[in-house]
Amino acid sequence: MKNLNKVQKVIDILKNNMDKSYFGPLDNYPSRPSSQMDVEKNRGKSAEFIHQYYKGEQWGIYFAWHMSKESPLPNDSLFSNKNTGIPSKEMVVDEMQNTYMQCLYAGEGNMLDRIGTMRSSYNTEGANPVAIWAYHNNVPISEVYVMSFAIGKEQGKIVEKLIHEYREQNHESGKRFALAEYSASNGENGRKEFSIENLIMNMAYLKHEEAMKAFAKLEQTKAKAMGVHMSLYATDLIYDKVA
């Protein structure tokens, strides 16, 4: 493994913030609170979650994994769930140099906001990579486990950068997390899985009237793009003849 110092720094930061963390299935996470006032007054399920698990902090780092008996992960994986069950967050952190290699998605931000998008609709532009992947693979959100640490904005950005670089440098795919190809903000080693093809195919699942409008707009856009292309192509032909 290359640059183990990067993942060790991540491990140290996370271990120092175990008291401001949560690890559990995606559907255990509440939505983002309606207002900052709700958080300050500890009003509502979301605010209670923030105070109970994050000590009032809302910003930090989060990681998502697939955990299932039918998971395609190796049998000896911490996340195979065939014999050992769901590991503790302490175990996941201690083994981060290996467990992160299997991480579906990781990032920093307002945690309940960002984690909540993993449950969002898959057929919208810029949908969360986990939401798209779960739909395409028929994975229920109860099998997606998320570990989050309320470490604030500054440390959140540091951990995100370190852990992404660590996987890019050590995983054969060169990707910063497993679902990088589904991400709209992928790096030079990734590709945008949520592509034009997916956008078009997802129109099939809209309500009939909405789908017909979307298809009509698609045809108009296609015709317009074709017109521009043919105009440019004709110009190239003229230049070729002159040359």
Residue with tokens 């009003």: 43
Distances (CA, A) of 184 to 52, 78, 100, 221, 240: 33, 29, 20, 22, 38
Q: pTM, whole model, 2 decimals?
A: 0.74
Domain that holds residue 33: 4-195
The answer to whether the beta carbons of residues 179 and 66 sit under 8 Å apart is no
Whether residue 105 contacts residue 177, with contact meaning beta carbons closer than 8 Å, is answered with: yes
Among 79, 87, 90, 111, which residue's Cα sits nearest to residue 14?
Answer: 90
DSSP H or E segment with residue 147: strand 144-149
Do 161 and 231 belong to one domain? no
Is position 95 within any domain?
yes
- Convert the pLDDT of each residue in 82-114 to its tens digit: 545 678 889 899 999 988 998 999 999 999 999
Residues 140, 38: Cα–Cα separation, whole Å: 30
Query: Are both 83 and 105 inside the same structural domain?
Result: yes
User: What mean pLDDT do residues 30-57 have?
Assistant: 94
Residue 201 lies in a domain: no
**For 125-170, how does the pLDDT look when each residue is reduced to its tens digit (9 = 90+)?**
667 889 888 887 888 888 899 999 999 999 999 999 999 999 999 9
Q: Where are the alpha helices (DSSP H) in 95-195?
A: 96-99, 111-116, 129-136, 152-170
Cα–Cα distance between 111 and 148 in angstroms, integer? 7
Kindly state whether residues 19 and 128 are assigned to the same domain: yes
| Distance separating alpha carbons of residues 241 and 243, to the nearest angstrom | 5
Q: Using the predicted structure, report yes or no on whether residue 73 has a pLDDT greater than 90.
A: no
Tell whether 23 and 106 lie within a shared domain: yes
- The yes-or-no verdict on residue 208 having pLDDT over 50 is yes
